[in-house]
Structure 1
């Protein structure tokens, strides 16, 4: 049990130290989970359009 508490504390410390990266990873995880588990055909079509737009922006940077 003590090892789990140490790991939890280490995770919290890392998240506090790396807030932007932790938020990025959390957002990415939620997006993937939504796509895998809840997205409808309409959602997928909309997301595909958004992804294409975002890809174009990134390519042209």
Structure 2
């Protein structure tokens, strides 16, 4: 029986849980920044990004 694309996607996500989680968080954060973030949100995110850069 051939798998549907949805079933293939689910199978990939099950095998790649950490990377799948990373991609979901990345997508959510980008959408927030592009569509909903206020100037204050962006200022706070800029600080958090700089702190994170310094940790890497």
Gaps of 5+ in 1: none
CA–CA distance in structure 1, aligned partners of residues 50 and 36 of structure 2: 21
Following superposition, the deviation at residue 52 of structure 1 comes to 0.3
1:6 correspondence with 2:4: yes
Partner of 2:16: 18
Q: Larger % of helix: which?
A: 1
> What SS is found at the alignment partner of 2:37?
coil
Gaps of 5+ in 2: none
Structure 1 moving runs of 4+ over 6 Å: none
Report the count of equivalent residues: 55
The two structures, once aligned, show a CA RMSD in angstroms of 1.3
Partner of 1:48: 46
- TM-score scaled to structure 2, two decimals? 0.94
